[in-house]
Amino acid sequence: MVSPPSTGTTTATSPPLEGATLKAVLTALGVSARTDEEIERSLREVEDAPWRQTLAPTVVTRGGVESTVPVYVPDGAKVRVRVELEDGGVRG
């Protein structure tokens, strides 16, 4: 068996949170987690959140390189693009 090369970094691990401790941590983070049903609903909301936002608030790309920016709209919807450049220019 060959081990992967060392990256020079160390990853800290901690024991998994369970039961009441996990629910307390999630609640402290503002996640509805009093019951298993609330945890399931909160998990679905987190998973669905990116699909509810049309475009990320900020997108950074490298100049001179073709880039792809995900845009979430209903299937078949028309999309109009306007890009504001760092130097104040506008494209679109």
* pLDDT score for 20: 84
Distance from C-alpha of 26 to C-alpha of 46, rounded to nearest angstrom: 13
The residue type at 30: G
Place 4 in a pLDDT band, splitting at 50, 70 and 90: low
What are the tokens at 74? 């209903």
* pLDDT score for 17: 67
What H or E segment, with its residue span, contains residue 52? helix 36-52
pLDDT (tens digit, 9 = 90+) per residue, 51-75?
888 888 888 888 889 988 888 888 8
Using alpha carbons, select from 51, 26, 54 the residue that is nearest to residue 38: 26
